[in-house]
Amino acid sequence: MCDLTSRTKTLLLLLFLLASSPPFSGGEVAESCTETPLEFKCGAGEAAGGGGPVLVVREAWIYASMRLDPDSLPRCHVQEYNLEYKAGSFLQYINKQCGGQTECKFELQKHTDLQRREDLKKYRRGALRVVYDCVKKTDFHRVCGSEVNSQKGWVQSVGYPLYYLGDPVCTITLRVDEGQHIQITLTDISLREDAQPGNKGCRDSIKIQENGTELLEKCGVTNVPITVTSKGPVLNVTLTATSKLFPKRGFLGHFKALGCQTPLAPADGYMSYRNATHAEFWCCVHHAFSDTMTRRRVLECGDRTQTWNDTLPDCVDLEELLAGGNITESQYQNLVNGTTVLAQAERLRQAHIVYDLVVPAVIMSVLVLGNAAVVFLIIYCRKGVLEDGVRCEELESIKANPEPPDTIDNEPCSV
């Protein structure tokens, strides 16, 4: 094998770093060198006090240079960020400076405490990269006690980013379709921690719960996004605080449904079953799907695409098709009487249900009633024998003390 040149080795290393670095989530991007201000803003829209768009930061990273001699570079080469590596997150700092604003100007040395640490030296000739969204204020869900039925959206605490409220306890319920899961990512948390020394609990906290099970409890400040995924279609997001008002930002996050959204039932049809991977639909009696002329259709949800593998056309009336000459009398009778392969399979399935459930239940009932009858007969017979024994003892007593014959019981009894 031939020897690799130094330049080739460097290129391979950079390609490896690119492949191993996780992809960025969606949203708009703002970049600048670490030595220059990072500026970005949302569109003009409405005034900041209205319902216009505001900045919501998804993630913020510092990319330090991988060059052998960064001091020899006149600039940071921001356009080559994908060939650099992540040196640290500054999410908590940029949330404090830019969260909830319509535009922002951020300076690394001015708006962080990095100037008091040695970390600032390794960020020289590096790059700042922010992924953000512009979200209308009216698009945030923050009404306490509300239930949100949506495939995706944003949630935030009341008063964000100026303050948060603690009275009463505020819960927002997120709900998606049956068979789906919910993924919620908290991109900003700024809550008071416990002020009591030695107490590890949170004085104010945000909790994410599913069916009474706590998936997350967090307070303080977060510097990286926190993601929680549910097992079912419902999540509760609760902010608990001990003060009526506290001057910290609160929390902000976005959520989305994982899995395929339940399709609308076809005309003259209905959904009979749905889970995370499959959905079963049927046409009403004397109806069939227009493309297959069958009553039943099963859809499968793709793991990666999160889309169904087939379409769901409306059901058509078989009698109308027959009257219009679109199907023959024989085809109509086969579809109505269930002589198609799928109909026969359905009848067999129902027959299996009868044999597997109904017949054993009847047999068990007969056995229980039979055993009850046997026990009753045994008790009755024993009672009869006992009565005969008592009568015999009475007869022996009469023989020992004779009385007139007409007082003696004529019932036979062997002595």
Rounded CA separation 119/227 (Å): 27
pLDDT score for 52? 81
Rounded CA separation 91/60 (Å): 5
Task: Check residue 286 and report its DSSP letter.
Answer: T
Q: Three-class SS of residue 142? A: coil
Spell out a b/e string for 328-341, using b for 16 or more CB atoms within 10 Å of the CB, else e. eeebbeebeeeebe
The tokens describing 155, both together, are: 């949630």
pLDDT score for 360? 79
Instruction: Read off the pLDDT of residues 137-175 as tens digits, 9 standing for 90 and up.
Output: 999 999 999 999 999 999 999 999 999 998 779 999 999
Helix (H) or strand (E) holding 100: none
185 strand-pairing partners: 227, 254
pLDDT score for 46? 47
Task: Give me the residues of the chain with pLDDT under 50, please.
Answer: 1-25, 45-49, 68, 340, 395, 407-415
Segments in 52-99 forming alpha helices (H): 91-98
Dihedral sign computed on CA atoms, order 400, 401, 404, 410: negative
Rounded CA separation 325/10 (Å): 73
| pTM given for the model | 0.70
- For residues 59 and 80, the answer to whether their CB atoms sit within 8 Å is no
Task: Check residue 347 and report its DSSP letter.
Answer: H
Rounded CA separation 246/187 (Å): 20
pLDDT score for 166? 86
E strands within 275-353? 278-283, 287-289, 296-300, 315-317
Task: Check residue 313 and report its DSSP letter.
Answer: P
